[in-house]
């Protein structure tokens, strides 16, 4: 689940990458949004970026089985495992790089692969629940090989224009039932919601419901304090915080080096997440900070490319 910031649309960047990735890898998608015509959003999905290096790496099926909230884990495995070898016969390599300037090819958006639901007018959540149930029933989890996987993307779940948005218990029970359906099927779900519009106790409950919890935050423009505090402030558009990482069927926790990342758009095309680098502090002793290269600029090892 992704907690939105009412002041910035960064959750849309995450949604776009999530949806494109699924479509490119033949994973059917169910997309729900409060817009009257959700199909319109599909036109803004990015196309995979041309792969930079030709590293091939044996794709480990066991590893993928454990990755329920698949795309999330890819981030934390380090660069060497980011490039999986797909077959070179027309299938795409599994990658996290998407080019926002290039829209996804039309054939990926055919009706068999993408199902869209508008949640604005439905008075309650039963319609959405039924749609999700039918969608997920197509991807039962079998012991054995990975058959097709499905993805569900729900945007701005508690948006105020939805008729059910003040029925907080109903929304909570929907999330719970969706979670149980997803667990018992071969699918992942991404839900974004604006926490500022929920009452605080429900906000907490929703956060507990999530397996993996992220939040995006806007940053003020032309803020002198921040620009002195952080390097690369000029390119940043927001912050991403990782609050929780899914621990399913494991007792080993994922310990992250950093939980706050800056969201940058490289050349306005690629979504890049970077660890924050603190700028050298003014007034500290002499020249050593200012000239050392490792402190400033984007670090290569910490790059988490989407």
Partner 1 sequence: MAESICRALRDGALEGEHAPALTIKDSIASPFGFHVFCHVLSQLSSFILAGKSQSGGLVVVSFSRSPSFYLELLKNKGIDVVSSDKRIQILDCYSDPLGWKDRLIEAGNFTALSHEASNSSTANVLKDVKHMDKLYNSIVERGKGLIGGGKNRFSVAIDSVDEMSRHASTSSVAGLLSNLRSHDQVSSIFWLLHSDLHEARVAAVLEYLSSMVTSLEPLHQPANGHRGDLENLSLIEHNLKKGKFHVRIKRRNGRVRVMSEEVHIEQSGISFTSLSSEGAINQGLVPKVQFSLELSEKERIDRANVVLPFEHQGNGKPIQIYDGRRSLADSKHERQVAATEKVQTNEDSGGGEIIYFRDSDDEMPESPKASI
Which positions touch partner 1 (CB under 8 A)? 6-10, 34-36, 120, 159-163, 165-166, 194, 196-197, 199, 218-222, 224-225, 237-238, 263, 265
Q: Do residues 113 and 42 make contact, with C-beta atoms less than 8 angstroms apart?
A: no
Smallest distance from the beta carbon of 215 to partner 1, in angstroms?
14
Q: Do residues 5 and 238 make contact, with C-beta atoms less than 8 angstroms apart?
A: yes
CB nearer to partner 1: pick between 9 and 280:
9
Q: Do residues 24 and 99 make contact, with C-beta atoms less than 8 angstroms apart?
A: no
The closest of 94, 77, 79, 127 to 27, measured between CA atoms, is 94
Smallest distance from the beta carbon of 103 to partner 1, in angstroms?
12
CB nearer to partner 1: pick between 163 and 256:
163
Smallest distance from the beta carbon of 21 to partner 1, in angstroms?
21
| Token duo for residue 45 | 């999905």
CB nearer to partner 1: pick between 61 and 283:
283
CB nearer to partner 1: pick between 86 and 232:
232
Smallest distance from the beta carbon of 266 to partner 1, in angstroms?
13
Smallest distance from the beta carbon of 220 to partner 1, in angstroms?
5
CB nearer to partner 1: pick between 35 and 246:
35
């Amino acid at each position: 689940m992704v907690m939105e910031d009412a002041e910035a649309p960064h959750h849309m960047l995450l949604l776009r990458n999530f949806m494109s990735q699924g479509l490119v890898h033949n994973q059917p998608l169910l997309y729900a949004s409060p817009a009257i015509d959700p199909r319109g959003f599909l036109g803004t999905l990015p196309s995979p970026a041309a792969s930079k290096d030709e590293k091939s790496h044996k794709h480990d099926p066991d590893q993928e089985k454990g990755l329920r909230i698949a795309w999330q884990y890819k981030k934390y495995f380090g660069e060497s495992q980011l490039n999986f070898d797909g077959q070179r016969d027309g299938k795409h390599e599994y990658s996290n790089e998407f080019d926002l300037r290039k829209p996804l090819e039309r054939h990926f958006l055919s009706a068999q692969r993408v199902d869209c639901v508008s949640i604005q007018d439905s008075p309650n959540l039963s319609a959405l629940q039924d749609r999700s149930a039918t969608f997920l029933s197509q991807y039962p989890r079998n012991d054995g090989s990975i058959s097709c996987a499905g993805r569900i993307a729900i945007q701005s779940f508690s948006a105020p224009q939805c008729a059910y948005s003040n029925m907080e218990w109903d929304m909570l029970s929907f999330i719970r039932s969706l979670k149980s359906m997803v667990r018992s099927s071969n699918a992942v779900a991404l839900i974004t919601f604006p926490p500022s519009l929920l009452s605080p106790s429900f906000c907490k409950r929703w956060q507990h419901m999530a397996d993996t919890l992220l939040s995006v935050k806007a940053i003020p423009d032309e803020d002198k304090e921040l620009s002195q505090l952080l390097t690369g402030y000029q390119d940043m558009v927001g912050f991403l915080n990782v609050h929780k990482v899914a621990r399913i069927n494991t007792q080993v926790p994922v310990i992250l080096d950093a939980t706050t990342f800056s969201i940058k758009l490289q050349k306005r095309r690629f979504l890049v997440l970077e660890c924050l680098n603190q700028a050298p502090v003014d007034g500290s002793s002499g020249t050593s900070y200012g000239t050392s290269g490792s402190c400033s600029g984007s670090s290569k090892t910490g790059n988490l490319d989407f």
